[in-house]
Structure 1
Amino acid sequence: MDIDPLVLARIQFATNISFHILFPAISIGLGWLLLFFRVRFTQTGDKAWEYAYYFWVKIFALTFAMGVVSGITMSFQFGTNWPGFMEKAGNVAGPLLGYEVLSAFFLEASFLGIMLFGKDRVSNRMHLISTFLVAFGTTLSAFWILSLNSWMQTPTGYYLEDGVVMVESWWEVIFNPSFPYRFFHMVIASVLTSAFLVAGVSAWRALKNVDGPATWKIMRTGVMVAAVLAPLQIFIGDLHGLNTLEHQPAKVAAMEAIWETEEGAPFTVVAIPDEESRSNKFALEIPYAASLVLTHELKGEVKGLNEFVGEHPPVAIVFWSFRVMLAIGGLMVLVAWWAAWALRNGRQASKPVLAALSAMTFSGWIAVLAGWYVTEIGRQPWIVDGVLKVQDVVADHSAATVSGTLFGYILLYLFLLASYIGALRNLSAKPAASLILNPAGTASANTNDNTAKGGES
C-alpha cells in the first residue's frame, strides 16, 4: 500500500513533537517547584526541604537534557521535511526561535550547573538566584515558542510579498490574538503536570515504604498546587475556547463534531464522527450544551463543518483528543481535592488516596498530548492558518525515505522514553535519607549517611 509522503512527513513531525513536549511540560513547572523547595529550606532551615530540592534537581536535569536533544531534532525537520515553511515564513519563525535559544536556553543551561554541582561551593543566596533564573528561563522559553505557535494559529502583524511572509509589526506578531490564552493555558498545564508528577512519585514512595519526612512535604506541595490550579485551568480553557471559536471556527466544529451550523447546538459526549456521511454515529448528546459552553448563550450559533468543506481538520482525532483532555482534567480536579482533604492538618493519606495519586503520576502527559493534538491537528490543512497550507511547504521526498527515518525515530524515542521512566523509577525506589527531628521540629541529618548527602527525599 502506497502512503502519501505528506502524511508520513506529518506523522514524523507529530512523533517528534509528541516526544519533545513531554519534557518541557515537566521542566517548566518543576523549575518553579524547585524554587519553592529552596525558599522553604531558606525560611525554615529544615533539611528535608534541601533533600527534596537535590532529589528533584537530578530529575530536572535529566528532563532538561531530554528536552534539548529532542528539540534540536525537531528543529532540523524544518529544513529536512518542511523547507517551504522556512522559505515562506522564516522571517517570523527564524527570529522567534533564535530568541528562544539566546535568551532562554543559555540562561537555563548556565545556571543549572550551579543547581547540580554548587552544593557546599556557593552560598544559599546564589542557589536561590540560580534556581529562580532557571525557572524563569524555562518560562521564557515557553513564551517564545508559544508566541510562534500562536502566530501560526492566529497570524497578525504581517503582509505578503511575492508569497513570502514579511513582518509589519513585531508587537502584533508576538502578542497575536490567541497568544495570551495559549501561553497561560500551557504554563498552567506544565505546572499541573509537575505537581502530579511529584505527588505521584511521593505517593508511590510511601506505598513502597521508602518515604521520609521530605516525601510527605513534597506530596502535600504537589497536591495543594494541583487542587488550586486544576479548577483554574478549566476557567482559562473556557476563555481559550471562546477565542478559538472567534478565530478558528473550523477547529471548534471539529472538536465538537458539529456538521451543520445551528443555534442551540448540543454537546456530543461520545460519538463516531463519519466524514464520508458527514454525520455522527451512535451519538450521545446533551441538548444546547455546546452553544452554552462555547457562546455562553443557550441558543448561540455555532458554525458547522459543512461551512468549511475541504478546509477543515480530520474530525475524529480532534473530537476524541478533546474529550481525553477534558476527562483527564476532570480526574485531576477530583483526585487533587480528595488528596487535599485527606492530607489536611498534617495528616497522612490512606492507601486508596496514595494509590490514586500514584496512578495519576503521568496524567499531565496524557492531557498535554491530547491538548497539543487538538491544537496542531485542529489547524489542518493549514501550517499558518489562512496563509500557508501544509501541502505547499513539504519537501519532495519519497515515501520510502520518510518512512525509513520515521521508523528510526519511533524506535529511538520508545527507547529513550523507557529509559527516562526507568531512571525516574530507580531514583524513586531508593530509601529516604536518615532524618532525626529535633525538638524544635527541624531536621538534622546524619552526616555519615552517604544517602543523605546525595539528597534523597
Structure 2
Amino acid sequence: MFGFTALELARIQFAFTISFHILFPAVTIGLASFLAVLELSWLRTRRTVYVDLYHFWLKIFAVMFGMGVVSGIVMAYQIGTNWSAMSEFAGSIMGPVLAYEVLTAFFLEAGFLGVMLFGWTRVGPHLHFVATCMVAVGTLISATWILAANSWMQTPRGFAIEGGRMVPADWLAIVFNPSFPYRLMHMVVAAYLATALIVGATAAWQLLRGRDSPAVRKMLSMAMWLIVLAAPVQAVIGDFHGLNTLEHQPAKVAAMEGHWQNRPGEAVPLLLFGIPDMAAEQTRYAVGIPHLGSLILTHSWSGQIPGLKEFAPEDRPNSLIVFWSFRLMVGLGLLMIALGAWSVLMRRRGRIFTARPFLRAALWMGPAGLVAILAGWVTTEVGRQPWVVYGVLRTADAVSPHSAGTLALTLGLFVVAYFFVFGAGTAYVLRLMKKGPQAFALHRATEGGPGETRTPMRPLSAADVGNDDDGTGTGSDGANRRDGD
C-alpha cells in the first residue's frame, strides 16, 4: 500500500486506533471528576443549577464512556494480532498489568455506573454521590494501570530474561518504574484540562448564541477556574517529565529539540522553528534562542544534552515528527495558560460572560486539549522508536508476520468503520452540547411512562430535541426561574 512495508502499516494501524481510543478515556476521566464535584456542590448548597449541569454532562459522559469501552477492546485484540512477537516476549509482564486494570478499575466503574446513570430517583442522594465518586475513582485507577504499562515500556525495570522471554522479577519496580509518576501526573492533568476546555467551549457557544442562564454561567466559570489552576501546574509537571526523559531516553529529547551535536563550551539553543533532516543529519532553517535550550533542559546557562549524532543511525527516532509534535503540544499549552489569564482579567472587569472576543477564544480552544494529548502521545511513542520496550525489544522484532496487503486491507476497514461509528457518536455528543443544559425535575411523578420514575433514564434519549435551537426553550429559562442567580 503506497510503498509501505508491513511493519510501517502495522504501526500506522495501531497509531490510528489508539489515537481514537485515547480521546474518550481522557474526556471520561475529566468528566467523572467534574460530575463528582457538581453532585457534591449540590449536596452542600442544594442549588438546582448543579443538578441541571450534572444531568446534562452525565448524558455526554455515558456516550463517551461507551465509545471508550468499544475502542479499548479493539486495542487489546490488536496487540495479539499485529504484535504477537511482543506478546510472546513481554506478555508475562504486560498481560498481568493490563488485567489488573480490568479487575480493579473497569469492574469498579461498571459496578457503580448503573447506579450513577439510573439511580437518581431510586437511591438516596448520598449513596448516589458515592456511586459517582466510585466511577471517578475507577477512571483514575484505570489511568494508573495503563500508564504503568506504557511507562514500563518506556523505562523497563524489574524484569529478567529467561528462555528468550521477559519474566517479572520485582512487581513494585515494574509498576513504579522511573517514568511512571511523571507520566501519570502529566496525563491526568491533561485529561482535566481537555475536559475543562470542552466544558468552557460549550458554555461559550451557548452565551454567544444568547442563551444566558445560571447553568451556562456556572459551567463557564468552573471551567475557567480549572484552566487557571491546572495549565501552569501542567507546565511544571512537563518540566519534571522532560528532565526524567533526558535522564532515561536522551535520544528522544535530542529528537524533540532537533539537536544533532555539541560544540565545546557552546550552550544549546531553543529552536523555535526548523526542519530536521534525518538523511543530512542537520536541522534546516533553524531559528533559535541562544542558551534557552540549556536553561530549560538542564536548568543551567551553558549545559549540554546528547546530540542525535551520538546515537547510531538505527537507534534514532524520527526527529521531524517528534520535533513538531512536541512544539504543537507546548504551543497549545501556552495558549491554555493565556486563556486562563485572560479569563481572570475578564472576571475582574465583570465581563467574563459578555466579552465576545474572549468567548470566541474559549470556543475555538475547545478541541485544543484533545489535540495536545494526541501531540503528546505522538511525541512519546514516536520518540521511543525504534524500540517497543526501550533498549530491550525493537519494534521490528515485535510485529506479527503478516503481509503488507493484509495489513493494508484491515487498516482500510478500520478507517471506514471508525469514522462511521465514532463519527456518528461524536456528532451525537456535539448535538447534546449544542442543546445545552436543561432544567431537571428533582421530584418526578411516580405514575410511569416516558421520562417518569418507572422508566429508566436513557442517555441516548437526551438529544430528542424539539425546535428549541433559537434559545427560547424552557430548559435554560427554567433553570433561571428556579435558581434565580
Which residue of the partner structure matches residue 482 of structure 2?
Answer: none
1:355 equivalent among 352, 357, 360:
360
What is the CA distance between 1:433 and its match in structure 2?
A: 3.3
Secondary structure in structure 2 of the residue aligned to 1:40: helix
Which residue of the partner structure matches residue 312 of structure 1?
Answer: 316
What is the CA distance between 1:91 and its match in structure 2?
A: 1.1
Contact 1:210/1:430 (8 A) holds in 2: no
Corresponding letter in the other structure for 2:18: I
Corresponding letter in the other structure for 1:236: I
What is the CA distance between 1:110 and its match in structure 2?
A: 1.8
Q: 1:307 to 1:432 in 2, by over 3 A?
A: closer
Report 1:52-91 matches (<5 A).
52-91=53-92
Report 1:245-394 matches (<5 A).
245-262=246-263, 263-309=266-312, 310-344=314-348, 348-394=353-399
Partners of 2:308 and 2:344 in 1: how far apart?
Answer: 42
Query: Size of the alignment, in residue pairs?
Result: 448
Which residue of the partner structure matches residue 243 of structure 1?
Answer: 244
Corresponding letter in the other structure for 1:136: V
Secondary structure in structure 1 of the residue aligned to 2:315: coil
Report 1:12-411 matches (<5 A).
12-262=13-263, 263-309=266-312, 310-344=314-348, 348-411=353-416
Partners of 2:442 and 2:136 in 1: how far apart?
Answer: 28
Corresponding letter in the other structure for 1:325: M
Corresponding letter in the other structure for 2:180: F
Secondary structure in structure 2 of the residue aligned to 1:322: helix
What is the CA distance between 1:266 and its match in structure 2?
A: 0.9
What is the CA distance between 1:414 and its match in structure 2?
A: 2.1
Unaligned runs of 5+ in 1: 436-443
Secondary structure in structure 1 of the residue aligned to 2:207: helix
Corresponding letter in the other structure for 1:308: F
What is the CA distance between 1:211 and its match in structure 2?
A: 4.2
What is the CA distance between 1:424 and its match in structure 2?
A: 2.0
What is the CA distance between 1:325 and its match in structure 2?
A: 0.2
Contact 1:204/1:354 (8 A) holds in 2: yes
Q: Which is worse superposed, 411-420 or 142-151?
A: 411-420
Corresponding letter in the other structure for 1:134: V
Q: Which is worse superposed, 5-14 or 211-220?
A: 211-220
Contact 1:211/1:432 (8 A) holds in 2: no
Q: Percent identity?
A: 46
Unaligned runs of 5+ in 2: 463-474, 477-485
Q: 1:161 to 1:126 in 2, by over 3 A?
A: same
Partners of 1:66 and 1:290 in 2: how far apart?
Answer: 40
Contact 1:88/1:163 (8 A) holds in 2: yes
Q: 1:93 to 1:434 in 2, by over 3 A?
A: closer
Partners of 1:434 and 1:124 in 2: how far apart?
Answer: 18
Secondary structure in structure 2 of the residue aligned to 1:120: coil
Partners of 1:121 and 1:63 in 2: how far apart?
Answer: 24
2:429 equivalent among 424, 438, 449:
424
What is the CA distance between 1:103 and its match in structure 2?
A: 0.2
The CA RMSD over aligned residues, in Å, is 2.0
Partners of 1:30 and 1:417 in 2: how far apart?
Answer: 19
Per-residue CA distance 1:93-120 (angstroms, 9 max, x = gap): 0000000011001111221111111121
Question: Could you state the TM-score of these two structures normalised by the residue count of structure 2?
Answer: 0.89
Partners of 2:418 and 2:436 in 1: how far apart?
Answer: 30
Q: 1:261 to 1:163 in 2, by over 3 A?
A: farther
Per-residue CA distance 1:200-251 (angstroms, 9 max, x = gap): 1111111123342111111111110011000000000000000000000000
Per-residue CA distance 1:178-201 (angstroms, 9 max, x = gap): 000000000000000111111111
